[in-house]
Amino acid sequence: MNMEISWQYQGANWQKLKTFLKQKGLSRRLLATIRNDNGQILVNGKSGRIVDKVVPGDYVTIVLPYEVNRKTPLAKSYVPIDIIYEDRDFLLVNKTAHVATIPSILHPNDSLVNRVAGYYELRGYKGLIPHVATRLDRDTSGLVLFAKHRLAHALLDQQLRQHTIDKRYYALLTGNLTLNQLTVNQPIARKSDSVMKREVRDDGKSALTEYFVADRLQNATGCQIKLHTGRTHQIRVHSEYIGHPLVGDNLYGGKIAMPLQRQALHCYKLTFYHPFLERNVTFTSPLPADISRYIEKNR
């Protein structure tokens, strides 16, 4: 389906249309893609050119074209998803543990992306494809943000590059942290002998993680964590580096401790700037049952 997104120009003087669209986050490349895929740029309901001018009170409308997956066909899964928030532009889902975010060779048909694609079909959302903005490891639970069209995705991508999307995690670290707050600023790189595992290494990419102690348990510490960068396995690697691997994270030195059968990591809070509502929005997800039970068992 075609989707229309409109703004009213409220400047004091005339402005070039291309300048107005750039201020709304539409790059030259995205505008070209919209036009090449039979989308439209309208000014007061009539086709406009980016060299045209807009004057105060004009309405500018972008007609986004029908989208199709340009790569291999995406299998649809009809397993229900836990929706935290949905509007015209974004979908926020609470992912359970043991579900991959995106399809892979090991999980080609029932990742969270497959489930969102199935949800779109059941709701009759023709012409929408899942655009993943934030990802979680397969065994990490919590909030995952999707953009529902390419403009929303492009605007979120800008926030990701500028590190302005605020993701907060709750993690159970083995042992007892002596400090109530800890900052780890250590670069991370892929281990040379592993496809999956990462490590702290001088030639890696910069990575900054903040820990805030929330719960002191028997042989474990519950922490609220803020990521300032988004490296693969960042929390898991930094926790191992400080000598307190995540409970249940056997890839990085943690041990399985019932009722947990995965790394004790949950994305519980997400804040981002909603470019169409023009304000920051914040969403939360409660701790899942396995982490809550572990806390109660080990208080």
Task: Given the residues 137, 139, 249, 290, select the one marked as catalytic.
Answer: 137
Q: Show the 3-state SS of the chain.
A: CCEEEEEECCCCCCEEHHHHHHHCCCCHHHHHHHHHCCCEEEECCEECCCCCEECCCCEEEEEECCCCCCCCCCCCCCCCCCEEEECCCEEEEEECCCCCCCCCCCCCCCCHHHHHHHHHHHCCCCCCCCEECCCCCCCCEEEEEEECCHHHHHHHHHHHHCCCCEEEEEEEEECCCCCCEEEEECCEEECCCCCCCEEECCCCECCEEEEEEEEEECCEEEEEEEECCCCCCHHHHHHHHCCCCECCCHHHCCCCECCECCCCEEEEEEEEEECCCCEEEEEECCCCHHHHHHHHHCC
Angle 124-130-135 from CA coordinates, rounded to 5°: 145
Query: Can you say how many angstroms the Cα of residue 182 is from the centroid of all Cα atoms in its chain?
Result: 24
When mean pLDDT is compared across 8-17, 67-76, 136-145, the lowest value belongs to 67-76
How many other CB atoms sit within 10 Å of the CB of residue 201?
15
d(CA 286, CA 254) in angstroms, rounded, equals 23
In the residue annotation, 249 being an active-site residue is answered as no
pLDDT score of 106: 82
pLDDT tens per residue, range 109-159: 999 999 999 999 999 998 899 999 999 999 999 999 999 999 999 999 999
pLDDT on residue 70:
66
**Of 135 and 107, which is predicted with more confidence?**
135
> What pLDDT is attached to residue 173?
98
What's the rounded mean pLDDT across residues 34-56?
86
The arithmetic mean of pLDDT across residues 280-295, rounded, is 97
Does 1 have pLDDT greater than 70? no
Label residue 89 exposed, middle or buried (CB < 10 Å: 0-12, 13-18, 19+). buried
The widest CA-to-CA distance across the chain, in whole angstroms, is 67
User: Is the model's pLDDT at 32 over the cut of 90?
Assistant: no
User: Does 36 have pLDDT greater than 80?
Assistant: yes
If we measure between CA atoms, which residue out of 247, 252, 173 comes closest to residue 216? 173
Expressed in angstroms, the distance from the first to the final Cα of the chain is 52
**Joined tokens for residue 60:** 């500018």
All structural domains of the chain: 3-64 (3.10.290), 68-162 (3.30.2350.10), 167-267 (3.30.2350.10)
Kindly state the average pLDDT of the residues 158-171.
94
Q: In which band, very low, low, confident or very high, does the pLDDT at 87 lie, cut at 50, 70 and 90?
A: very high
Using only the alpha carbons of the chain, give its radius of gyration. Answer: 22
Per-residue pLDDT at 68 exceeds 90: no
Statement: residue 286 has pLDDT above 80: yes
Q: Which residue has the tokens 């992912």?
A: 95
* Average confidence score pLDDT of the chain: 93
pTM of the model: 0.91
Task: Name beta bridge partners: 215.
Answer: 222
Evaluate if residue 285 carries a pLDDT over 60: yes
